[in-house]
Amino acid sequence: MHSIIIYGFPIILVLFEAFLRSLINVDTFGFVGPTLAATGISFMVPLTRLKVSEVESSLGEKWVQVSKRDQAYVNLVWLLLFISLFLWFWVCTLSIKSDTSMLFDFPTHVIVGAAMYVVGIVLSSIKEVV
């Protein structure tokens, strides 16, 4: 239940803001793409931290242990985070343009932002099992 609240809360905020913007007759789709993209990026940032465990040797020394899988995963997340910053910039640019390109009957910036949001959720879910 807690995961549903964490991952679903940004959608609730987007819907609430869309409702408020529609009440005052302001473009309701102009902000959705960048907001979802930023949320996806914000899900990725905590994933850059390595999972460490302390191991005590037979001599009483304490060592920090990191799995190779987690190290590889964190490196992948750093790469995706870097790419995501450029995607976010592109999404912001698309949302500002007056002639919006469409994909599947939705503005492209909304589709890309939603995809980044889903990627952030998927990466967060994977981190829990790595």
Residue 1 has pLDDT above 70, yes or no: no
Please answer whether residues 107 and 29 qualify as being in contact, where contact means their C-beta atoms are separated by less than 8 angstroms.
yes
User: Residues 77-109: pLDDT tens digits?
Assistant: 999 999 999 999 998 888 887 667 777 778 888
Cα distance between residue 24 and residue 39, in whole Å = 25
**Average confidence score pLDDT of the chain:** 83
In 26-93, DSSP assigns E strands to 52-56, 62-66
- The residue extents of the domains of the chain are 2-129
Mean pLDDT of 55-73: 83
Residue 123 pLDDT level (bands cut at 50, 70, 90): very high
Q: For residue 98, what pLDDT is reported?
A: 61
